[in-house]
Structure 1
Amino acid sequence: MKVRLSPLVYVQRPEYWGIEVIGMLPGIGLPALAPYTESLPLDSVLGTKGIEVIGAATRETFDVP
């Protein structure tokens, strides 16, 4: 499974900038749970208070000074 981070687009800078975690399964196969790492520079996707990471089932906010 390929995983990527996709920042949301806003007209104004929000308190917490949303970043979606997107998993893609190339070809035919069954999805499986496995550990992964992915990174994204925060210089252009930082809200006034921090970021919000949005997954398929959960959301988590992180304060970034």
Structure 2
Amino acid sequence: MSIESDRIGPMGDEEAALFRFLRFGRLPDRVLPAERVELVEVDPKRDVPEPVADPTGVWNFRYV
């Protein structure tokens, strides 16, 4: 028999918390604001790639 087949009424909060704990375990520790870092982009995102300088003026894909 499964646990659900023995049920008569809706699941209570404490019972739901127990099943959630058994399935997922303990939550990770909270990250404090002092432990967080601010991300700053240093280079602007480019939409097109920069051209490659070709000294001969001929496109040679093997050597680029």
**TM-score, normalised via structure 2 length:** 0.19
Ranked by relative contact order (alpha carbons within 8 Å, sequence separation 6 or more), the top structure is 1
Q: More helix per residue: 1 or 2? A: 2
**TM-score, normalised via structure 1 length:** 0.19
Q: More strand per residue: 1 or 2? A: 1
Which structure has the larger Rg? 2
